[in-house]
Amino acid sequence: MVYDLSQPVFNNVPQWPRFRPTSVTTPHLTATESANVERITLMTHTGTHIDAPYHFFPEYWWLQR
């Protein structure tokens, strides 16, 4: 069984306070450009993510490479 713990990404989603806010825009719509395109700007610590072991254990610095 798989449990999906993913959190949605949306404008101004809660995140680390020092980072720029997350932004989701739709610069092209089907009616005008024949394609649906979204631009998502976010930091790597936004939403659901996994930190590398080095984040907690300095002796694993080589895993960052």
Q: Kindly report, residue by residue over 4-36, the tens digit of the pLDDT.
A: 888 888 888 888 888 889 998 887 666 666 677
- Residue 14 contacts residue 26 (beta carbons within 8 Å): no
Alpha carbon 4 to its chain centroid, in Å, reads 16
For the chain, state the CA radius of gyration: 17
Question: What is the domain partition of the chain in residue ranges?
Answer: 1-65
pLDDT at 5: 84
If pLDDT is split at 50, 70 and 90, which confidence band does 61 have?
low
52 compared with 32, residue with greater pLDDT:
52
Report the catalytic residues.
55
